[in-house]
Amino acid sequence: MTIINYDFVMDLVNDSMEPCISIYLSTEAAREGNFHKLEIKYKNKLSEVSKTLKKDWDYREAEIDELLEPAYELIDDINFWQHHEKGIAIFINESKFDYLRFNTKIKDQAKVSKHFYVIPLLFERLTNSQYYILALSKHSNKFFKADSNTITRLKEFEVDESLKDYVGYDGESRNSQHHSHNVSASNTVFHGKGNVQPDEKQDLYKVLKKVDNSIQKAFKNEDTPLILYCDETLYHFYKEINSSNNLFDKFINGNPENINENDIQEKTWEVIEKNVNNKKQEIIDNFMELKGTSRTSLDIKLITRNAYYSRVDSLLINGNRELEGYFDQKKNKVYMIKNGKETYDLYNYAAILTLQNGGEVFVLKEDIPEGINIESINRY
**Where are any strands of DSSP class E within the chain?**
20-26, 87-93, 96-102, 109-113, 131-136, 141-146, 151-153, 226-230, 252-253, 296-297, 312-318, 324-328, 333-335, 344-345, 360-364, 374-378
Residues 6+ apart with CB under 8 A from 51: none
Determine the pLDDT at residue 263. Answer: 96
Of 112, 162, 111, 125, whose CA–CA distance to 141 is shortest?
162
> Distance (Å, rounded) from C-alpha 123 to C-alpha 368?
13
> Distance (Å, rounded) from C-alpha 352 to C-alpha 115?
8
Determine the pLDDT at residue 188. Answer: 36
> Distance (Å, rounded) from C-alpha 19 to C-alpha 53?
8
Determine the pLDDT at residue 160. Answer: 87
Residues constituting the chain: 380
| φ, ψ for residue 22, nearest 5 deg | -125, 120
Q: What is the signed CA dihedral for 230, 232, 233, 239, rounded to 10 degrees?
A: 80
Condensed to tens digits (0 to 9), the pLDDT of residues 20-65 reads 999 999 988 766 667 788 889 999 999 999 999 999 999 999 999 9
* Residue 342 DSSP label: G
Determine the pLDDT at residue 60. Answer: 97
Determine the pLDDT at residue 360. Answer: 95
Domains of the chain: 1-125 (3.30.960), 131-278 (3.30.420), 291-380 (3.30.1330.30)
Q: Report which residue type is found at 342.
A: E
Condensed to tens digits (0 to 9), the pLDDT of residues 255-292 reads 998 899 999 999 999 999 998 899 899 999 999 999 98
| φ, ψ for residue 279, nearest 5 deg | -65, -45
Q: Give me the long-range contacts of 8-13 (CB less than 8 A, separation at least 24).
A: 8/98, 8/100, 8/121, 8/221, 9/118, 9/121, 9/122, 9/125, 9/355, 10/355, 12/91, 12/116, 12/118, 12/121, 13/115, 13/116, 13/118, 13/352, 13/355, 13/356
Helix (H) or strand (E) holding 42: helix 35-56
Per-10-residue mean pLDDT, the chain, length 380: 77 96 88 79 96 96 97 86 80 95 86 96 81 92 89 93 66 36 36 52 88 90 87 91 90 93 95 90 92 94 97 95 95 90 96 97 86 93
Q: Report which residue type is found at 263.
A: D
Of 127, 297, 136, 316, whose CA–CA distance to 211 is shortest?
136
Yes or no: say if 1 and 100 are a contact pair by the CB < 8 Å rule. yes
Judged by DSSP in three states, 77 sits in: coil
Determine the pLDDT at residue 30. Answer: 67
Residues 6+ apart with CB under 8 A from 340: 55, 56
* Residue 294 DSSP label: T
Determine the pLDDT at residue 192. Answer: 34
Whether the upstream peptide bond of residue 19 has omega within 30° of 0, thus cis, is yes
